Amino acid sequence: MSRFDPSEALARLSEEYLQRAAALRRDLAREHEHDSVEQAQERQNDDVLRGLLIEAEAELRRVGLARQRLAQGRYGECQRCGEPIEEARLRAMPAAEYCLGCADQE
């Protein structure tokens, strides 16, 4: 297994969420059809896009907080119990805030 670099993992994740949010904003800014049936479907699609944008922005904030913890030397420390978060969990979820035991309690 390769060495885990949290800074690199968080940077990649941040870029991914930034790109996703930008694409969603572009899609939401497009013009709607004038046909009322098409327009109704597009408005429903916009609701889904807005939900996805909210999720992307929330994940971007979580990544930002993880980057702050990394800068403060607290990355990988459970925000609830203070115990170390397992490396396998951090590899899978670089912005994880909680160890597996505390995450199950959420």
Domain map of the chain by residue range? 6-75
Q: What is the pLDDT of residue 14?
A: 97
Per-residue pLDDT tens over the stretch 6-54: 999 999 999 999 999 999 999 999 887 666 667 777 788 899 999 999 9
Q: Is residue 84 predicted with pLDDT exceeding 90?
A: yes
Contacts of 81 (CB under 8 A, 6+ apart): 99, 101, 102
* φ, ψ dihedrals at 105, nearest 5°: -80, -20
Alpha-carbon distance of 75 to 73, in angstroms, equals 6
How large is the average pLDDT for residues 88-95?
Answer: 97
* Per-residue tokens: 104: 């199950």
Q: pTM to 2 decimals? A: 0.83
Question: Which amino acid, 100?
Answer: L
